[in-house]
């Protein structure tokens, strides 16, 4: 039986990914901070284990690695999905270095630390995969999202390098780049309420499908919804135009 570890599994994309893997018969180790939500989800799945964990804690990688060995015995897929955003302009009282530091700590540093701890078992279980859940904001930045974009730009660059490095070890590395996603905390009603912008909003379930597309033997990069992939070439080919358009946006 194939085994996966999914971070940020207590809600949203992480929960949807865990449910999608469960439907395909995977054994899943669920990681997040909210123990009650994790336990409820584990009970609803066929073969899942809850591991309440703050991924920024110093001992988090070692605890996750121990749980994988004890409860799974192998690891075919690591889904680095946990993350957050505290949006503010850098010059705002709450938007300076400390905001960037805590965003990087969870969205980037914690991903690297966990992956480093689990890389030996991923190599041992090969062919296997790592899927990092990034963001469209990891390719194009908008006002008041500098800290978030910095973390996701870093994640995208590191994922591309890791994809090339781990190929020899038969560990596939995929990157999923969601745009706006309607979740319980962010229903995105301002966008879904208008026909012109409804296409811009995805669901956790659609992102979960993209995670599987970027999983073992899959794609190196997957955008959700797919039309968002056009933003990056526009940013590169016409930077002045992109700055004029994006300067008035809010995300």
Residue-wise pLDDT for 40-61, tens only, equals 999 999 999 999 999 999 999 9
DSSP 51-83: EE--TTSTTHHHHHHHHIIIIISS-SEEEE---
pLDDT digits (tens, 9 = 90+) for 111-125: 999 999 999 999 999
Q: Which two tokens stand for residue 88?
A: 């503010």
Average pLDDT, the chain: 91
Q: What CATH code is assigned to 3-246?
A: 3.40.50.720
Q: What angle do CA 187, 156, 159 make, to 5 degrees?
A: 120
pLDDT digits (tens, 9 = 90+) for 159-196: 999 999 999 999 999 999 998 888 765 567 666 667 65
Catalytic residue list: 148
Cis peptide before 12 (omega within 30 of 0): no
- Alpha helix (H) residue ranges in the chain: 12-23, 35-44, 60-67, 97-104, 110-124, 146-165, 189-192, 204-213, 231-237, 239-246
Contact 30, 9 (CB under 8 A): yes
Contact 180, 191 (CB under 8 A): yes
pLDDT of 223: 93
Q: Are strands 128-133 and 48-52 parallel, antiparallel or unpaired?
A: unpaired
pLDDT digits (tens, 9 = 90+) for 195-239: 656 777 889 999 999 999 999 999 999 999 877 777 767 677 777
Which pLDDT band, with edges at 50, 70 and 90, does 78 fall under? Answer: very high
* Domain ranges for the chain: 3-246
pLDDT of 238: 74
Q: How many CB atoms are closer than 10 A to CB 102?
A: 15
Mean pLDDT of 57-73: 98
């Amino acid at each position: 039986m194939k085994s996966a570890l999914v971070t940020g599994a207590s809600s949203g994309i992480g929960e949807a990914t865990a449910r999608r893997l469960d439907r395909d018969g995977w054994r899943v180790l669920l990681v997040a901070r909210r123990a009650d939500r994790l336990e409820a989800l584990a009970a609803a799945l066929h073969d899942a284990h809850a591991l309440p964990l703050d991924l920024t804690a110093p001992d988090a990688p070692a605890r996750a690695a121990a749980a994988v060995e004890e409860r799974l015995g192998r690891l075919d897929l690591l889904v680095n999905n946990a993350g957050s955003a505290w949006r503010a302009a850098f010059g705002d009282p709450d938007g300076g270095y400390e905001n960037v530091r805590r965003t990087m700590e969870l969205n980037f540093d914690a991903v690297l630390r966990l992956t480093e701890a689990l890389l030996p078992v991923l190599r041992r279980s090969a062919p296997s995969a790592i899927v990092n859940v990034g963001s469209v904001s990891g390719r194009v930045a908008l006002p008041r999202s500098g800290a978030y974009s910095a973390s996701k730009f870093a994640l995208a660059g590191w994922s591309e390098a890791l994809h090339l490095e781990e190929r020899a070890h038969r560990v596939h590395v995929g990157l999923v780049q969601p745009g706006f996603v309607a979740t319980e905390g962010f229903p995105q009603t301002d966008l879904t309420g208008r026909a012109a912008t409804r296409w811009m909003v995805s669901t956790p379930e659609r992102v979960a499908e993209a995670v599987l597309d970027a999983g073992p033997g899959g794609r190196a990069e997957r955008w959700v919804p797919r039309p968002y992939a056009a933003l990056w070439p526009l940013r590169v080919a016409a930077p002045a135009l992109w700055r004029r358009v994006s300067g008035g946006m809010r995300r």
